[in-house]
Structure 1
Amino acid sequence: MHTPPHLPSKHELSPSLLRAHSLALSRGLRDTVEMQSASARFLSELARQATVPEARKLLLELARIEQLLSLEIDVKVAQLVEAPLPARASPGAANIKTAPEWAHLELITYEQAIAVTLDCTRRSILFLTDMANRFDGPTLDFFLMLAQSDEDRAAMLERALNRRLAELTIGHDIRRVLVEIHDAARRAAKAYAWIGRRTMRPRAQEFLQGMQEVCALHAANIQSMLGNMDHLSDDPVFEGLAAATLPTLDGDVEGLDFQAALRIAMHAQQRTALVHGMYARAFRGEEAQQLLDIADAERRQAATIASVLERLEPSDQDMEEQYPQARSPRESWTCPAIVDESEALDEPKTPVLRLVAG
């Protein structure tokens, strides 16, 4: 029978290891406080931006729950440690339970709001479980309690999401969703082309042209899967899909540099992967796998872009070493949204830049 390794308590540690243990505990608690308060702020900001009343109501309620939990954490932390916590959290701690790529969108549907919150909650569970494995006694109980709270919330969100998707997709087959994905990819290609024509930075232009080609190829692949595409009228069920797929930009388009271009593409791919993976839950077998394969390709594309960004920007080495499984984009930024107001995809109007207050 396998005997689990003995984890020494803090009373068995040498003075030097005890100091290291105390520092690790203070850092873990500080990061947990930051993660939770950032989650409450993120959901509140997302709710203020949301234009869909049902989504706004849900996000406000979830933000209220996160705020109450944040207050409870503050009380528990004060009971666990007497010394003040570090003044600053680890780099990236605020992004463990947030999704910066969604922070600027107005058109967030009810099901997308659930899916985004569920994704954030799952990352929080990974972080808290990792923290629980590092300590014992009351600290272990503290992190396990928080992880269980998030587990319960994740289960509730999953049930709500499954019910919602079942309602939305009644009468729709996978073909309907693929047609919408095809149209969204074509619109994204046009948006990348529009941005690329207006930026003055050659390297950004080259990358954006590449993203335009990626989206066009993606649309062509979807069309080859569908064969002859019957004309289908717009369905409000899928109104948020195109908005999530479109790239967005921050500030002056003429001055858009290479790193900003990488970031807008990464965020667009992350949003798109989550939405397509979300719709896969509404189907079974090969139909679900089709959407999962599409989402996986987009997720890998986002990861490739992120790896380039990491080579160009200072890395959060401490965050990588402590919480590798909980990493997420480091920056939350407010962007103007590109809105395609054209009804005809072949002759679109110039996309409108609308500033979204964050």
Structure 2
Amino acid sequence: MSPLTPSQALRNAIAAEAAAARFYETLASRSSDPEVRSFFETMVRVEAEHGREIEHLGSKIVGQVLPAFATTDASGVETLPAWKSAENLGFDEALHVAVMCEHQAAMHYADLAELFDGEVREFFRAVSASESQHGSMIEGVLRERIRTGQSTFTIGQVVRNLIEIERAAARFYGALAKRCLNPRAKSFLQGMVEVEELHAAQIEALGRDVETGEIPEHANLEVKDVEMPPSWPAPIHLRLETSLALALEAERRAGRYYRALSRCFSRQAADFLEHMAETEDDHARSIEDLLTRMRADA
């Protein structure tokens, strides 16, 4: 496979922004709530403008006409496929989807930047920062709704959502392990099942020490996208290195999401969510260290 060139990376990024615009356009068309429809229509305009900025500024940096087509499926960079068929999302759900999409894109572009150097690296770092800024703006809307009591996102509901996120992650790793033929990779993935199940139990115990009010029995959102990387489903011949890379991405996604939620609450609830984010970050660092050592020994 040919190495990714800066020009091709830019074309792929433009395609990703176009896919995000189409995703938000689909969600807008499926909503009968004027407030939700207006929000998603605004996001369509934001993504379309961002794609034009990437093409305009990126072309100047590489100094050449960009390739005509993307070389990768860009539809998963800044979208959540599980939500494409959602009907009549509430405003809180709409904000939740958009926050996840924007932070997911920020992670993608930050990783992409590390493949290059010089101006191209700085450009993709700036794109990542822009996506983070989009996410922060949306968090601000959700934070104000929570502060004024308009939101369905009580801390009790968030604790339930987090428990179900961890359980979904355990199922994700379990499904990977069942499909995996490599003994070392299978053993690692089975260990991750135990880690996620333990984390779910810890969240439930810690959550009851926070002033949560009642913890509902069910999540109020589609939670499986939070700690499940877009590269799922993985091939059956899963090597240990690929398993570690998948797990690293999953833990980073969860940490970023929990931290975004922590900024929407105050005091004890914010501290609880930040602690959850730090735990996911610790998992990610441990996996990254193992992956680095493995690659160094190869």
Answer yes or no: is the 8 Å Cα contact 1:189–1:211 preserved in 2.
yes
CA change 1:304–1:234 in 2 (3 A) is same
User: What do the CA deviations read for 1:274-301 (whole angstroms, capped 9, x no partner)?
Assistant: 3322322332112211111101211332
Give the CA deviation at 1:223.
Answer: 3.1
- 1:207 correspondence with 2:188: yes
User: What do the CA deviations read for 1:66-124 (whole angstroms, capped 9, x no partner)?
Assistant: 4344445655677x68963797xxxxxx99xx974966544784223321354368679
After superposition, residues 228-247 of structure 1 pair within 5 angstroms as 232-236=216-220, 239-245=221-227
CA change 1:265–1:172 in 2 (3 A) is same
Aligned to 1:337: none
Aligned residue type for 2:64 = P
- 1:265 correspondence with 2:242: no
Give the CA deviation at 1:33.
Answer: 4.7
Aligned to 1:178: 159
- 1:84 correspondence with 2:68: no
Aligned residue type for 1:220 = A
SS at match of 2:222: helix
- Structure 1: runs of 5 or more not aligned: 1-26, 88-93, 128-133, 136-141, 315-358
- 1:222 correspondence with 2:203: yes
Aligned to 1:302: 284
Give me the whole-angstrom Cα distance separating, in 2, the residues matched to 1:195 and 1:148. 32
Aligned to 1:114: 98
Aligned to 1:37: 14
User: What do the CA deviations read for 1:323-354 (whole angstroms, capped 9, x no partner)?
Assistant: xxxxxxxxxxxxxxxxxxxxxxxxxxxxxxxx
SS at match of 1:213: helix
SS at match of 1:245: coil
After superposition, residues 300-339 of structure 1 pair within 5 angstroms as 300-309=282-291
Answer yes or no: is the 8 Å Cα contact 1:118–1:154 preserved in 2.
yes
Answer yes or no: is the 8 Å Cα contact 1:266–1:302 preserved in 2.
yes
CA change 1:269–1:58 in 2 (3 A) is farther
Aligned to 2:274: 292
CA change 1:168–1:242 in 2 (3 A) is farther
The alignment covers a number of residue pairs equal to 265
Answer yes or no: is the 8 Å Cα contact 1:115–1:161 preserved in 2.
no
User: What do the CA deviations read for 1:304-333 (whole angstroms, capped 9, x no partner)?
Assistant: 43454456679xxxxxxxxxxxxxxxxxxx
Aligned residue type for 2:164 = D
Give the CA deviation at 1:303.
Answer: 4.0
Q: Which sits farther off after the overlay, 193-202 or 153-162? A: 153-162
Q: Which has more radius of gyration?
A: 1
Q: TM-score, normalised by structure 1?
A: 0.53
- Structure 2: runs of 5 or more not aligned: 68-72, 87-92, 112-117
SS at match of 1:244: coil
Give me the whole-angstrom Cα distance separating, in 1, the residues matched to 2:277 and 2:239. 27
| Identity fraction in percent | 20
Give me the whole-angstrom Cα distance separating, in 1, the residues matched to 2:259 and 2:239. 30
Give me the whole-angstrom Cα distance separating, in 2, the residues matched to 1:156 and 1:192. 33
After superposition, residues 25-174 of structure 1 pair within 5 angstroms as 33-34=10-11, 37-44=14-21, 46-47=23-24, 53=30, 61-71=42-52, 74=55, 84=64, 100=77, 104-106=81-83, 109-119=93-103, 156-163=137-144, 170=151, 173-174=154-155
Answer yes or no: is the 8 Å Cα contact 1:33–1:70 preserved in 2.
no
CA change 1:282–1:76 in 2 (3 A) is closer
Aligned to 2:89: none
User: What do the CA deviations read for 1:13-50 (whole angstroms, capped 9, x no partner)?
Assistant: xxxxxxxxxxxxxx99x599558515414514654886
Q: TM-score, normalised by structure 2?
A: 0.62
Answer yes or no: is the 8 Å Cα contact 1:195–1:208 preserved in 2.
yes
Give the CA deviation at 1:211.
Answer: 0.5
Answer yes or no: is the 8 Å Cα contact 2:161–2:219 preserved in 1.
no
Answer yes or no: is the 8 Å Cα contact 2:29–2:37 preserved in 1.
yes
SS at match of 2:181: coil
Give me the whole-angstrom Cα distance separating, in 1, the residues matched to 2:38 and 2:247. 29
Give the CA deviation at 1:258.
Answer: 2.1
CA change 1:268–1:163 in 2 (3 A) is same
